[in-house]
Amino acid sequence: MIYYQVREDKLIGCDECDYLGVHYDDIKSGEIETLPKDYDGWFPFMPLCFSIGDWGVRSGIFKALKTKYPKIKITIPKMSTIQEICSTDAYFNNQINTSYTLGNGEMINPGENMKNVLSNNPYIDEFFDIGKFSLIFTDHDRAYTGLQKINEKIYSVEEPLAEQILKRFGFTDEDIKNIDSSPQLYFNSDEIERGDELIDKYIGKNNKYGCLLFSARIKELNERWEDKVLYEDAERFRDLPVFYYSSFDLDNTEWAKFFPNRFDFSKLNLTIREQLYIKCKALFNIGYQAGMTDACSGSDSEIITLCPYPTIGSNRVRGVKYRFFNGRKL
């Protein structure tokens, strides 16, 4: 793993490391500086991962930064700027120019992921062009409190990435406890009106419903998982109507018995934003770990996610209920 910085619009590999970031103790001791207490300058920031889930789990840091630093000015590179910066490194150039196919056959690219997550965000002051800042902060700038080694790979001790990023820029343990940094989506009036119409049409006004998701963007994971560990959670919501997306047929499965009244997202001709709105408004979201659910996991919906890995690591979102194949719950 290589720690990258963005300087003079170029990606520069600085250090090879087992895990990105600095130890939080070095910040608390004053050995490593953070933003000043009353910071009133620009905060240019870009992630170095570009899926909808990657944008989603980082999306709550902007509101959190504005809460602690009311005078801070947050700016994000335009997609054309990100592409130009990434063109300076072969690996990132490939990542930023890679489109992938959703389970319903729709092609999506990093620019659309950015738009789907960051649209209407009131805490972003500007989207900037190339050449404006000599230094751009990234999600490689983080501070971890602890690490663990599993199967020869180093993970954080399931400390959310958003919290690690904020700690690197001056957030204390007390700040992390009191300032929400969970994913944040912001819908405009047209999106809200359209979303409510869809919910009323299929569910009925003010009726409770849920969402199911049984699919993965990663090809080798796009098959049925050991989802029986989710049955206990599903039982609590039995017989409520659901919107769902699944890479396998739910008929003749336990899921059809839990939720006989269901509507397939892939057959409703909805945009990604419309699906996200419906998921955010749902009473619950149950399913496999996926970027679509990660992005809306800061809503009031109860999120129960099955993780295919031995740990969720820094992809954790505080408040989400994680389930693992071995029965562990987080």
- pLDDT for res 102: 65
| Structure confidence at residue 56 (pLDDT) | 97
What pLDDT does residue 288 have? 96
At 246 the three-state DSSP class reads strand
Strands 147-150 and 242-246, by their bridges, are unpaired
Q: What's residue 202's pLDDT? A: 97
pLDDT in tens, the chain (330 residues): 999 999 999 999 999 999 999 999 999 999 999 999 999 999 999 999 999 999 999 999 999 999 999 999 999 999 999 999 999 999 999 999 988 766 556 678 999 999 999 999 999 999 999 999 999 999 999 999 999 999 999 999 999 999 999 999 999 999 999 999 999 999 999 999 999 999 999 999 999 999 999 987 666 666 789 999 999 999 999 999 999 999 999 999 999 999 999 999 999 999 999 999 999 999 999 999 999 999 999 999 999 999 999 999 999 999 999 999 999 999
Q: Domain ranges for the chain, please list them.
A: 2-178, 189-324
For residues 73, 79, 80, 83, the Cα torsion angle rounded to the nearest 10 degrees is 110
pLDDT for res 216: 79
- The one-letter amino acid at 130: I
Say how far apart CA 282 and CA 262 lie, in whole Å: 13
Helix ranges (H only) for 73-183 are 79-86, 90-96, 110-118, 161-168, 173-178
- Residue 146: Cβ within 10 Å count: 11
The vertex-320 CA angle with 171 and 240, nearest 5°, equals: 150
189-324 carries CATH number 3.40.50.2000: yes
In angstroms, rounded to a whole number, what is the distance separating the alpha carbons of residues 61 and 137?
Answer: 13
Beta bridge partners of 126: 75
Reference 270, options 200, 203, 195, 211; nearest CA is 195
pTM: 0.95
Token pair 């690591």: residue: 313
